């Protein structure tokens, strides 16, 4: 199971601007809500199905939240990820696909880290895919601070191995029939990080990652 973020990238709108407001929100947040538990179960099933598709050993998770809808949603996610991986192979002989990758963005937000559901790294391109099982707010990839923080962290690690020129970020939100993808040059992404660096705060906080 993925570890919750000490400072969630999902709360990055507030993190980059107002740590006290996010800390206050935490006091009223129900970290064990059924929606959160259902989302965790869906993510675990996604991880299992991707590992099986990649011929990796994995034990199917058991959950009280399993349903036909969850099966269909996680199947669709797995199919989408594998399609993107196959597309990456057309332009790169040795792309890599990482599942549930811990990403440390504490260099941008104190004590901040999150978990990237899927990273596909290839020559010239990094693709980050984030699975959202929630039915509430429609999440868009364009200018999404969470995704941009994840991308910056991944670049710190993998830009030395691959000559990455652009980053694609996808929000896969099946219960809202939403697949949103946004691509940005690495130079523009780093420019965004530099422009926001003066907003970094010194005091850490704890915020649960959204699902």
Strands 124-131 and 178-185: unpaired
The model's pTM is: 0.81
pLDDT tens by residue, 70-117: 999 999 999 999 999 999 999 899 999 999 999 987 777 777 788 999
Give the C-alpha separation, 191 to 127, whole Å. 19
Asked whether residue 106 is assigned to any structural domain, the reply reads yes
Q: Is 65 inside any structural domain?
A: yes
Tokens 């691959």 belong to which residue? 162
Phi, psi of 109 (to 5 degrees): -135, 125
Query: CA triplet 88, 61, 131: central angle to 5 degrees?
Result: 40
Residue 207 lies in a domain: no
Would residue 183 count as lying in a domain?
yes
Residue 204 domain-assigned (yes or no) = no
Q: Cα–Cα distance between 121 and 134 in angstroms, integer? A: 27
């Amino acid at each position: 199971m993925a570890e919750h973020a000490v400072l969630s990238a999902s709360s990055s709108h507030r993190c980059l601007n107002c740590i006290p407001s996010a800390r206050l929100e935490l006091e009223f947040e129900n970290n064990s809500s059924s929606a959160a538990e259902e989302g965790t179960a869906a993510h675990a099933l996604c991880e299992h199905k991707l590992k099986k598709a990649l011929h990796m050993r994995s034990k199917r998770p058991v959950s009280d939240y399993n349903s036909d809808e969850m099966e269909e949603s996680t199947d669709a996610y797995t199919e989408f990820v594998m399609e993107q991986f196959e597309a990456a192979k057309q332009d790169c002989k040795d792309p890599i696909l990482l599942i549930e990758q811990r990403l440390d963005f504490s260099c941008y937000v104190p004590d901040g880290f999150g978990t990237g559901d899927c990273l596909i790294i290839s020559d010239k391109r990094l693709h980050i895919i984030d699975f959202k099982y929630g039915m509430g707010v429609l999440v868009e990839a364009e200018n999404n601070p969470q995704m941009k923080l994840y991308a910056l962290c991944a670049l710190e690690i993998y830009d030395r191995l691959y000559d990455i020129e652009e980053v694609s970020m996808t929000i896969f939100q099946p219960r809202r029939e939403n697949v949103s993808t946004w691509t940005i040059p690495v130079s523009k992404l780093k420019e965004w990080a530099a422009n926001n660096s003066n907003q970094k705060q010194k005091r850490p906080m704890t915020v649960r990652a959204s699902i």
